[in-house]
Amino acid sequence: MGEEVFEAIRRRVAEEPYAKKMGLKLVEVDEGYALVEMKFTENMENVFGMAHGGAIFSLIDEAFEIASNSHGTVSVALSMSVTYVSSPKKGETLQAEGTEVSRSNRVATYSIKVKTKGGDLIAICQALVYRKRDPLPFL
């Protein structure tokens, strides 16, 4: 069932209005794993001309959503703790890599790291989901 789920997720993310608006692109998906990219553009700046925390959070949340739902059942966020380490330069492509740390029948924990393509650490996140028993509605 793995590849069927991954393909359905790829299609769904490609159609997702918010992902389009933010320029979020799914690069890779596997069981408990996602790699998502976003280019830091001028319209993502905060009042200081730096990357807005909300833009970086959007990238983190997309990788988290994909990794946690990659098992084919609905998972919903319970909590996310983000630490912003540095700000990228305008025009840099950022990558969020979400990795499953632990999973039970009801909850799962994920680590999400945001880096520039050059490897500079931008943010880290620890996140927790509640795993429902419902299959993904778009399968």
pLDDT in tens, 81-118: 999 999 999 999 999 999 999 999 999 999 999 999 99
Strands 25-30 and 93-103: unpaired
Residue 134 pLDDT level (bands cut at 50, 70, 90) = very high
Q: Look at residue 1 and tell me whether its pLDDT is greater than 70.
A: no
In the predicted model, what is the mean pLDDT of residues 31-55?
97
Q: What is the mean pLDDT of the chain?
A: 97
> What residues does each domain of the chain span?
2-135
Fold (CATH) for 2-135: Thiol Ester Dehydrase; Chain A (3.10.129)
Task: Estimate to the nearest angstrom the gap between the alpha carbon of 106 and the chain centroid.
Answer: 20
